[in-house]
């Protein structure tokens, strides 16, 4: 295995995941706000599941996305 090639491909993939995931979340939250589906909602639970076929890897990351304004 060529570690340099592997690491470059891995970083490219993770960058693509980050950029596209952020865009999709922002668009979905914007639509939900416009449709009034988030009235009174202060945060959204979020979960990302990573799977890698061929090595039987499943990794889950959970968190919370705050919709509240930060305190002033």
- Please write the tens of the pLDDT for every residue from 27-68: 999 999 999 999 989 999 999 999 999 999 999 999 999 998
pLDDT of residue 18: 97
Q: Which pTM does this prediction carry? A: 0.85
pLDDT of residue 70: 67
Supply the range of the domain harboring residue 44. Answer: 3-66
pLDDT of residue 13: 97
Q: What angle do CA 26, 30, 35 make, to 5 degrees?
A: 150
Whole-angstrom Cα distance, residue 47 to residue 18? 13
Q: Kindly state the average pLDDT of the residues 13-25.
A: 97
Q: Has residue 72 been placed in a domain?
A: no
Q: Has residue 71 been placed in a domain?
A: no
Whole-angstrom Cα distance, residue 11 to residue 5? 10
Q: Has residue 37 been placed in a domain?
A: yes
HEC string of the chain equals CCHHHHHHHHHHHHHHHHHHHHHHHHHHHHHHHHCCCCCCCCEEEEEEEEEECCCCEEEEEEEEEECCCCCC
Q: Has residue 18 been placed in a domain?
A: yes
pLDDT of residue 68: 86
Domain count, the chain: 1
């Amino acid at each position: 295995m060529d570690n340099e090639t592997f690491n470059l491909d891995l970083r490219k993939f993770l960058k693509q995941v980050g950029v596209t995931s952020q865009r999709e979340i922002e668009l979905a939250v914007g639509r939900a706000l416009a449709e009034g589906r988030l009235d009174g909602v202060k945060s959204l639970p979020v979960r990302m599941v990573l799977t890698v076929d061929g090595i039987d890897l499943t990794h889950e990351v959970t968190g919370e996305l705050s919709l509240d304004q930060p305190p002033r």
